[in-house]
Amino acid sequence: MASSNRNNIQLAADAGQSIWLDFINRDLLKSGKLAELVELGLGGLTSNPTIFQSAIAQGSDYDDDLQRLAAQGLDANSIFEGLATKDIGDAADIFRPVYDRTGGADGFVSIEVDPQLAGDTQSTVEQARRLSETLARPNILIKVPATPEGIPAIRTLIGEGISINVTLIFSRDAYRNVANAYIDGLADYKAKGNSDLSGIASVASFFVSRVDANIDARLGDASGSGLLGKAGTANAKLAYADFQEIFGTDKFASLKPSGARVQRPLWASTSVKNPAYPELLYVDGLIGPDTVNTLPPNTLDAFLDHGSVAQTLTDGVVAARNDMTALAAAGVDIDEVTDELLAAGVASFTDSFVKLMANIRAKCDSLAAAAGQPRA
């Protein structure tokens, strides 16, 4: 529980973890609700195609902009980019005081490249460049998925000084590839004659609850095994141990005098999928230095109300290794699980994006018909 004069977001910050919000819509921005959360200590915001699908498809907050952009003859993808960059830019402006106050360490807002490009390195790079140029703010992170094709894109973009949120990380192998791509990108940027690396930021978004949902289903009726609900947290704790190792190397240390920042692990998918589990299982249990936890609104409310803040991330690492060993002995192939989750994650975001494009086209047509205008 928070003390009487400091809330749990602030206490988490004292422990080295920034709490972000995994949500965005126009009402959050216009009503002042986001600014109020920033006053409470909120350190950043993440978005994804599913969040935008929900935001744009519901209500009338976007209708004026939809009509204006459709009247310009833009297609659904261009209309979405116009809507999304406006919201993300406005959110980044609200967080800019956090960015300035922390010397560029926090206060970031993330926008994702088209998930349909997850298997296309060059197209991912090109869209990330365009989004970065359009938004033109230092506290923007462009989200790039940790697919095999995304890894070289991460190095290229970091090497150009573009800050990145690497999303859809499920496996420790992928995480290590991501972290090394970031460090290599920093070295590339420096090799081009750039002596200051402090303006480049990155987070590595490691998904947690989906790991348990998948593995629990594989375990089936194994309530007596003691393994249900263990894999997500164990996987994250071991990834954090990888983080400590990688960013403790001489290779990264050589970049620190130039202002290089660590790439913070970000815990994503932290609302429980199984209602039988404690609602803050993936929040209270994953608090530690140089990390971020991005929470959907209901989980954030619960954390503020009754979260328990303590350094938990480095506790039980041996137990985490034992849990992963026991899962393997029970027939769970973690590589198979994480490959499946990555494919499903890309497919889910792609499906949301395709539905969002259809929603935009339908809404533009509906608004045009109501106004007596030709359909888009």
375 in a structural domain: no
320 in a structural domain: yes
pLDDT tens track for 317-326? 999 999 999 9
374 in a structural domain: no
pLDDT-wise least confident of 54-63, 99-108, 241-250, 287-296 = 54-63
- Given the residues 30, 33, 143, 273, the one annotated as active site: 143
pLDDT-wise least confident of 47-56, 153-162, 305-314 = 47-56
The pLDDT of residue 226 is 86
pLDDT tens track for 197-212? 999 999 999 999 999 9
1 in a structural domain: no
CA pair distance 144, 131, nearest whole angstrom: 12
The pLDDT of residue 375 is 55
pLDDT tens track for 247-300? 999 999 999 999 999 999 999 999 999 999 999 999 999 999 999 999 999 999
238 in a structural domain: yes
150 in a structural domain: yes
Is it the case that residue 376 has pLDDT exceeding 60?
no
2 in a structural domain: no
Number of domains in the chain: 1
Confidence of residue 2 (pLDDT cuts 50, 70, 90): very low
Is it the case that residue 49 has pLDDT exceeding 90?
no
Examine the residue annotation and report whether 256 is marked as an active-site residue of this protein: no
Mean residue pLDDT across the chain: 95
314 in a structural domain: yes
What CATH number is attached to the domain comprising 195?
Answer: 3.20.20.70
pLDDT tens track for 211-240? 999 999 999 866 557 899 999 999 999 999
- Note down the domain range covering 310: 8-369
pLDDT tens track for 139-192? 999 999 999 999 999 999 999 999 999 999 999 999 999 999 999 999 999 999
